[in-house]
């Protein structure tokens, strides 16, 4: 399937920004990029060939903005939208019992409700055209748990369940729904999840994989048929181990991960102060 138009959410940094770059440069697509930060979107559009990246700034936590975004999508792509990339996502490192209820609601609104609504719109549109793809940028945490990331992991488990279900519903429709599930990737996500203000000198997550390599794998998977794609060795290892040797995997996570991630969270907040 030849794809020429895309809507990419969360395009101001990290995976989303690199996805826009590679879709435009390597796949010769025209992209509508959205994120909260207008200045970041403008700089992205300026880096790429004129007319190939259009922007729409706003928060996906706002239902009114989501409606406005879809209306804009239909206006800028009157010939049809070929690819929806549900990339935008937020997380927050905190013990679940201490998490702010407002943060819990925002995580679910951005990570789950917003992509569900956009996907509904996209499926209706794509089924009428007989073609299209919806790509979710999920996570290995859609398959396993992680201490101090309970709400984020819950949102990604829900995304993966949605993808599995839609795969059956859409069989034979010409519309493919799938998820790419990276492990830690070089981006501002780790910094923001610690409650820090993102910036050009963002402190990256330990053992993170290079974003350009992860995204290159994602873009190649657009031509594939798999329901779940794992970019990078660490993503395949984590999910593979959880499936093939679940008891040793749980033993390891139970004994190692709480102390490790608590110390990492504390180090990050200490450096911030």
Provide the token pair at 109.
């609104």
Which stretches of the chain are assigned E, i.e. beta strand? 5-9, 30-35, 53-57, 83-86, 132-137, 175-180, 228-229
Opening angle at CA 61, ends 59 and 66, nearest 5: 70
Task: Identify any residues that bridge with 6 across adjacent strands, giving them in sequence order.
Answer: 31, 83
DSSP string over 144-190: S--TT-HHHHHHHHHHHHHHHHHHHHTTTTTEEEEEE---SBSSSHH
Task: Identify any residues that bridge with 83 across adjacent strands, giving them in sequence order.
Answer: 6, 133
Catalytic residues: 152
Cα(10)–Cα(57) distance, integer angstroms? 10
Cα(181)–Cα(10) distance, integer angstroms? 16
Sheet holding 228-229, edge to edge: 53-57, 30-35, 5-9, 83-86, 132-137, 175-180, 228-229
DSSP 37: -
Cα(231)–Cα(153) distance, integer angstroms? 18
Contacts for 188 with CB less than 8 Å, ≥ 6 apart: 13, 14, 198, 202
């Amino acid at each position: 399937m030849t794809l020429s138009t895309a809507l990419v959410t969360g395009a101001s940094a990290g995976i989303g920004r690199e996805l826009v770059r590679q879709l435009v440069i390597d796949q010769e697509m025209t992209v509508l990029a959205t994120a909260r930060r207008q200045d970041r979107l403008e700089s992205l559009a300026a880096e790429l060939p004129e007319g190939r990246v259009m922007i729409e700034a706003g928060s996906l936590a706002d239902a009114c903005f989501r409606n406005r975004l879809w209306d804009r999508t239909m206006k800028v792509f009157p010939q049809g939208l070929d690819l929806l990339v549900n990339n935008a996502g937020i997380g927050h490192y905190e013990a679940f019992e201490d998490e702010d209820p407002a943060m819990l609601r925002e995580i679910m609104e951005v990570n789950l409700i917003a992509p569900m609504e956009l996907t509904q719109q996209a499926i209706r549109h794509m089924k009428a055209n007989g073609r299209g793809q919806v790509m979710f940028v999920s996570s290995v945490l859609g398959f396993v748990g992680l201490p101090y990331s309970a709400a984020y992991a819950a949102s990604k488990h829900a995304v993966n369940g949605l993808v599995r279900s839609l795969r059956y519903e859409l069989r034979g429709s010409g519309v493919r729904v799938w998820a790419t599930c990276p492990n830690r990737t070089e981006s501002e996500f780790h910094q923001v999840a610690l409650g820090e203000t993102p910036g050009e000198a963002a402190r990256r997550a330990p053992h993170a994989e290079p974003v350009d390599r992860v995204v290159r794998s994602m873009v190649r998977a657009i031509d594939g048929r798999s329901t779940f794609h794992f970019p990078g060795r660490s993503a395949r290892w984590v999910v593979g181990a959880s499936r093939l040797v679940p008891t040793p995997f749980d033993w390891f996570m139970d004994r190692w991960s709480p102390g490790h991630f608590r110390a990492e969270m504390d180090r990050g907040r200490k450096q911030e102060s």
